[in-house]
Amino acid sequence: MYKERGILIVLSGPSGVGKGTVRKELFSTPETNYEYSISMTTRKAREGEVDGVDYFFKSKEEFEQLIEQGRLLEYANYVGNYYGTPLDYVNDTLDAGRDVFLEIEVQGARLVREKAPDALFIFLAPPSLSELESRLVGRGTETDDVIQARIAAAREELAMMDLYDYVVENDQVERACDKINAIVTAEHCKRERVEQRYKAMLKGDL
Ligand code: 5GP
């Protein structure tokens, strides 16, 4: 029996561009009809962050075991900490026909591109580099060293736009969310994705 798989949606972009804010806004509205994949990380929880909601917080040893066991779709070492996407959750949810949304940094997105080329890749771009810097500083959650490292990473990350299917400028969070939802809707209408269903229908397999 034909069963449609969900779409793997990957939102990535430079550090400080507002991926987290956009993701939270997306998932705060009832129209958003996809599942957020909660990442694993070895970073310490920030104030207010909850284990199993914001991240699954892991020790370095636990994380390295997950890597060894092949239980991550992708992972990256980002500014001294591991971050990774749980493979089983993603596969099970896609198999159930639900779209899965990843909000990850660019090294990880590149790995997903290799492993799941039919995923939908959206690059969130900053309006400008100085804006990016002031957002990182304004957030006030990081030391100067970390901010400098993140800005250096962001310059390199901007050059990686060419790996993506769509670019959404994050000039206003709500506008960016509207664009992302529109992109996902359009992706569901893509002939390549839809034709399998029609073929199954014609074969009486639906
Ligand atoms: P933060 O420490 O600010 O929560 O996240 C730092 C960076 O890690 C952000 O760019 C965020 O998108 C990224 N990130 C979060 N989860 C994952 C993940 O599972 N894999 C990868 N590769 N990056 C992630």
Q: What rounded mean pLDDT belongs to the chain?
A: 92
Residue pair 6/102 in contact by the 8 Å Cβ criterion: no
- Longest pairwise C-alpha distance within the chain: 62
More confident residue, 87 or 129: 87
d(CA 180, CA 11): 9
As assigned by CATH, the class of the 8-203 domain is alpha beta
Residue 206 has pLDDT above 80, yes or no: no
What is the three-class DSSP state of 14? coil
Q: Is the CB of 103 under 6 A from ligand 1?
A: yes
d(CA 126, CA 12): 12
d(CA 102, CA 12): 8
Q: Please name every residue paired with 76 in a beta bridge, in sequence order, or none if there are none.
A: 83
d(CA 203, CA 92): 26
> Rounded to the nearest whole angstrom, what is the distance from the C-alpha of residue 110 to the centroid of ligand 1?
13
Q: Is the CB of 39 under 6 A from ligand 1?
A: yes
Place 154 in a pLDDT band, splitting at 50, 70 and 90. Answer: confident
Name, of 68-77, 147-156, 160-169, 191-200, the range with top average pLDDT: 68-77
* Average pLDDT value for residue range 181-191: 96
The pLDDT of residue 35 is 96
Place 122 in a pLDDT band, splitting at 50, 70 and 90. Answer: very high
Q: Is the CB of 82 under 6 A from ligand 1?
A: no
* Average pLDDT value for residue range 115-137: 85
In this structure, the number of other CB atoms found within 10 A of the CB of residue 199 comes to 12
Q: pLDDT (tens digit, 9 = 90+) per residue, 71-114? A: 999 999 999 999 999 999 999 999 999 999 999 999 999 999 99
Place 129 in a pLDDT band, splitting at 50, 70 and 90. Answer: low
Q: Which atom of ligand 1 lies nearest, measured to the CA of 72?
A: 19
